[in-house]
Homo-oligomer: A and B are copies of this chain.
């Protein structure tokens, strides 16, 4: 990965570090000068390390975070002490939009591996997006996407069985890595089996058994954190329930 990191603020590209991004920004409706103004309010911090908290449930909301490198999980704690993992956040993804309304974070963001983020202070962002209509536009789109993504998760948790859930999860990671220019066939899981299970509404043991079975079936190779997807088509078939239909139709399938 080049040392000039671009965060894909979903469609809203933000420069991180000190790179020129004219070629990335123009296509999506922000003028070069606007990008620079946005860039000026973004603050970078030194990297976080595994098990650090980016923020915790109840913390005052300062702004939204864009993941530059690394990965982060968000989760909420339940009254009985258990957690519910809400999501895993990879480079180019945004965290914290859920806290705008309350002004307080409703979930905890915990670092899974050494991670760099940008903080975009919310008050400044809101002011700026009054001045830059196309920024407001991108913000609405960004939040809208976040809302529309929910339905995939509801389907996963509401309708899919264990096989389908894990397959869907792996394909989602695969696709997101691909979008970021990483390999879509081979990657490292920065989260534990426990966290995967928690996220997918399954027990750890089930995740473990599924990895073993998928491997026995030649669908993937997994060793500890490292995963290699050997048969993505099979995963797609599994993820969308089709026991062994032809898969010549839609692609879809993203968490």
Known: A154-B84, A154-B86, A158-B157. A100 touches B140 (CB 8 A): yes
Docked pose: A32 CA to B20 CA in angstroms = 44
Q: Is A3's beta carbon under 8 Å from chain B? A: no
Contact with B along A136-161 (1 / 0, CB 8 A): 11011111111110110111011100
**Contacts of A147 on B, CB cut-off 8 Å?**
97-98, 143, 146-147
B82 touches A159 (CB 8 A): yes
Are B106 and A151 in touch, CB under 8 angstroms? yes
Contacts of A130 in B (CB 8 A): 130, 133, 136
Most buried by B among A136, A143, A201: A143
A 79-96 binary contact with B (CB < 8 Å = 1; else 0) = 110101010000000000
B102 touches A148 (CB 8 A): yes
Q: Could you give, for residues 173-189 of chain A, a 1 whenever the CB lies within 8 Å of some chain B CB and a 0 otherwise?
A: 00000000000000000
- Which chain B residues lie closer than 8 Å to A151 at the CB level? 76, 84, 86, 98, 106-107
* Contact between chains at A148 and B201 (CB < 8 Å): no
Residue A126, interface by CB 8 Å: yes
Q: A78 contacts the other chain (Cβ, under 8 Å)?
A: yes
Given contacts A86-B154, A136-B129, A159-B201, contact A241 B80 (CB under 8 A): yes
Provide the main secondary structure of the chain A interface. helix
Bound form: Cα–Cα A240–B77 in Å: 12
Binary B-proximity of A11-50 (CB < 8 A = 1, otherwise 0): 1000000000000000000000000000000000000000
A159 touches B98 (CB 8 A): no
The answer, yes or no, to whether A101 is at the interface (CB within 8 Å) is yes
In the bound complex, CA of A140 to CA of B107 (Å): 18
Is the Cβ of A145 less than 8 Å from the Cβ of B241? no
Q: Is A116 an interface residue (CB 8 A)?
A: no
Name the residue on B nearest A127 (C-beta): B133
Bound form: Cα–Cα A26–B82 in Å: 41
| 10 cross-chain pairs, A with B, having the tightest CB-CB distances, nearest first | A100-B144, A157-B157, A98-B148, A158-B201, A101-B144, A143-B143, A98-B147, A101-B141, A101-B145, A84-B155
The interface of chain A, by Cβ under 8 A from chain B, is 11, 76, 78-80, 82, 84, 86, 97-102, 106-107, 126, 129-130, 133, 136-137, 139-148, 150-151, 153-155, 157-159, 198-201, 240-242, 249-250, 252
